[in-house]
Amino acid sequence: MKSLMNLKLSHFIMGSFVIVLIIPRIINFPQMNELLDEDPYPSPSDKASFADEMNDLTITKKYLPIIPKGPPIFSKSWYVKTVDTQFWFGKGCEKGEEDRFITGKQDSVVILDFNFPTLTNGVYGAKLFSGGPASTSAIAAAVEFFGFGYYTCVQPDTTSTVVIAVGTNNCNQAICPGSISGDQYDDHGTSWAEMVNDIGTYFINHGQYPQVRAYGASDMEVGWNDAYTTKQWVDGYSSSNNWPMLNFGDAAGCPEFRTYTNAPCSNGWYQYTIWYISGRGGLNSSRPLPQIYDNGGRLARQWYSLSAYGYDMQNGRLDIQGALTQSEACSQVGCDPDLDNMPGHGYYQLQACLINDPVTLQFLKWSTDIGYSGY
Amino acid sequence: MSDKSKRKRAYWQIAAMIAALVLVSSFLFQLVLAEETSVKRKCEGTEIAMFREQLTLIPSSNVLERKNVEKKVEAWETMIAICETITPATVNPNETPQFIPWTPAPFETGIFEGQTGDIHSFDSKIENHWKGIVNGNNMIVFAGALANDPSQGIIIIHITSPITRKTVGNRYLSPTKSGALRIMEAKGNILVIHPSAGNQLYFHILAQQYVSTLTDNPPTINPFLITTSTPASLPYP
């Protein structure tokens, strides 16, 4: 009886331990958090294992209806005309205030496009859209102040985040006099990556990361340079970057349908080269945030075709981050009336194209619209 | 009540007290643990995940590329460790940051080859551009042709106020489809323009219109009062 009593007692104590240790874990729902963090649409690298799993299945596939989320609130991006730090602190603060006043966590991207790459007195930089060129250190200061302004004005909201995409482009010397020569692209890409690394380190050391992050970016347009030189820049960036990079360029002349081949685009480019500079199936740090300007959806269909090319001919679909439109620039300086998509239109066009085919299915997280910065 | 049952009851009471004590102290311990965990900043983001994913994709035979990415993962592990130890910056709204002064390069004037990076390659192919100061504003006139129709010439104007730094602009298709336009010279307020095939054109920069002779003097316009066409479509259909 005594031993039975002792047994029950020890059981009771052990039971208490178990309950006490487990209950708080259940309250924290770690598994649920993992589920929430999990990407419902895995990246291209998961394709192989997924394909293996699918091969084992002989049952008929049934698709549940996919209900896309509405477009995210679009952010404003800028063609940069100055690296004045006070101005960019103010712009960052404006963005921070916007996010603070919107209920819930905001996650957005702001492209700061500093124009074509330059080399002035042995220092790399970018031309700016007025008053330039500016060195990478002056550009870094402007971006850091934008981030500082955002961080200052978004408080007490500690959950909203912004990615500042520090952009240049691939406009060559013949089209954009003052740009770097073809053999300097690799070096410029490396120094751009080092500049972005410095900015990222600044945000970490000042306690602003992960609310504020800096990515590299480039408006890589098919008509502005050859594929080889543009690839050189991406390789240069990828050689020393600690932060991702966004390709906010175009896919001019590429097909608008699934090709099952490496189809040609304009200016001697192929789908392969655009796929390469847009992430190389996850092998480099570039991700596309393409220009979706065309009212008729042509540009969206070209990027769908590229994503399908990645699936059919390479190691997986593109990991497209969102859609870029230029309605603000169009309202400022005018543009081709067929290329003035509003942010929601651009986002929907691209999303609709990607969602229509299971091989390119993904949800876009960002929508941004570019215009000329004041000052 | 017998001694035996009294003793049994005492045992149970002690056991219940111990269990209650354990229960309460363990709960408190867990709460403290949870508190500590929540205080620790979440610094591991998508960036390190991207590099780890790259590592899984790079074949083991590509030693150089793997080494490069491994270095990036290591750098990120260090950065995450630093991030986790740093207290989020507190903001003093009354504190004015130390801004870094910057002097822009002066606005160059004249006729220049190519463009300035403002015109998308799929929009128009620009031959050259003229830069001048007109009524105190910085004006750039680009000349070329539409990218999707090289026979259609185009003039694109960007004007920036040096005071407000606002930029406005407009676009003017050539009256006839006679190829890409090129600015030859500026004569007063008129630009002399040659299409690649066809007759010489004149463009009045103050009136922002094509004119037939160098002596034409149409009414000038205030560029900052021009309302460019705004898209009729709603942002979110």
- For residues A110-136, one letter each, b for 16 or more C-beta atoms within 10 angstroms of the residue's C-beta and e for the rest, the string is bbbbbbbbbbeeeebbbbbbbbbbbbb
Min Cα separation B39/chain A (Å): 13
| Mean per-residue pLDDT of chain B | 86
Q: Per-residue DSSP letters for A276-288?
A: HHTTGGGTSSEEE
Q: How many CB atoms lie within 10 A of CB A266?
A: 16
Best mutation target among A116, A333, A345, A369 (most B Cβ atoms within 10 Å) is: A333
Q: For residue A318, how many C-alpha atoms fall within 13 Å in the half-sphere facing its CB?
A: 30
| Chain segment A80-92, per-residue pLDDT in tens | 999 999 999 999 9
| Chain segment A95-154, per-residue pLDDT in tens | 999 999 999 999 999 999 999 999 999 999 999 998 889 999 999 999 999 999 999 999
What per-residue confidence (pLDDT) applies to B25?
78
| Chain segment A348-368, per-residue pLDDT in tens | 999 999 999 999 999 999 999
Residue A29 pLDDT greater than 70, yes or no: no
Minimum Cα–Cα distance from B73: chain A residue = A242
Best mutation target among A33, A209, A248 (most B Cβ atoms within 10 Å) is: A209
Closest Cα to residue A220, out of A174, A169, A254, A184? A169
Q: How far apart are CA A248 and CA A166, in angstroms?
A: 11
First CA to last CA distance, chain B? 83
Q: Find how far residue B183's CA is from the centre of its chain.
A: 32
Q: pLDDT band for position A59 (50/70/90)? A: very low
Binning chain B into helix, strand and coil, the percentages to the nearest 5 are 30, 25, 40
What per-residue confidence (pLDDT) applies to A58?
44
What per-residue confidence (pLDDT) applies to A16?
56
Contact residues, B window 70-129, toward A, CB-based 8 Å cutoff: 72, 75-76, 79, 82-83, 86-89, 91, 93, 97, 99-100, 102, 104-105, 107, 112-118, 120-123, 125-126
Chain B residues with CB under 8 Å of A335 CB are 123, 171
Q: Find how far residue B105's CA is from the centre of its chain.
A: 22
What per-residue confidence (pLDDT) applies to A375?
67
What per-residue confidence (pLDDT) applies to A55?
44
Contact residues, B window 51-80, toward A, CB-based 8 Å cutoff: 51, 53-54, 56-58, 68, 72, 75-76, 79
Nearest to A20 among B30, B146, B169 (CB): B30
The structure tokens 């491994």 sit at B70
| Chain segment B98-107, per-residue pLDDT in tens | 898 888 899 9
* CB atoms A74 and B235 under 8 Å: yes
What per-residue confidence (pLDDT) applies to B164?
82
Between residues A267 and A44, the one the model is more confident about: A267
Q: pLDDT band for position B8 (50/70/90)? A: confident
* CB atoms B126 and A175 under 8 Å: yes
Contact residues, B window 148-167, toward A, CB-based 8 Å cutoff: 156, 158, 160, 164-167
Helix (H) or strand (E) holding A30: helix A30-37
What per-residue confidence (pLDDT) applies to A68?
59
* CB atoms B88 and A207 under 8 Å: yes
| Mean per-residue pLDDT of chain A | 87
In this structure, of A42-46, A100-104, B62-66, B140-144, the range with the lowest mean pLDDT score is A42-46
Chain B residues with CB under 8 Å of A282 CB are 50, 53-54, 57
Minimum Cα–Cα distance from A12: chain B residue = B19
What per-residue confidence (pLDDT) applies to B1?
59
What per-residue confidence (pLDDT) applies to B30?
66
* CB atoms A45 and B53 under 8 Å: yes
* CB atoms B170 and A333 under 8 Å: yes
pTM of the model: 0.82
Q: pLDDT band for position B38 (50/70/90)? A: low
Residue B16 pLDDT greater than 90, yes or no: no
Min Cα separation A73/chain B (Å): 10
Q: What angle do CA B175, B178, B183 make, to 5 degrees?
A: 80
Backbone torsion region of residue B127, taken as left when φ is above 0, otherwise alpha when ψ lies between -120 and 50, otherwise beta: alpha
Residue A62 pLDDT greater than 50, yes or no: yes
Residue A341 pLDDT greater than 50, yes or no: yes
Residue A4 pLDDT greater than 70, yes or no: no
* CB atoms B122 and A223 under 8 Å: yes
Largest CA distance in chain A: 98
Residue B225 pLDDT greater than 60, yes or no: no
Mean pLDDT of A287-303: 97
The structure tokens 């330039």 sit at A132
Nearest to A45 among B56, B93, B113 (CB): B56
A39 and B45 in contact (C-beta within 8 Å)? no
Give the DSSP letter of residue B176.
Answer: S
CB contacts < 8 A, A to B, total 224
| Chain segment B133-176, per-residue pLDDT in tens | 998 999 999 999 999 999 999 999 999 988 888 899 999 999 99
* CB atoms B160 and A130 under 8 Å: yes
Q: How far apart are CA B46 and CA A316, in angstroms?
A: 19
Residue A35 pLDDT greater than 80, yes or no: no
Q: How far apart are CA B178 and CA A300, in angstroms?
A: 32
What per-residue confidence (pLDDT) applies to A320?
97
Nearest to A209 among B27, B83, B102 (CB): B83
* CB atoms B117 and A171 under 8 Å: yes
A50 and A341 in contact (C-beta within 8 Å)? no
What per-residue confidence (pLDDT) applies to A31?
39
Q: How far apart are CA B173 and CA B123, in angstroms?
A: 13
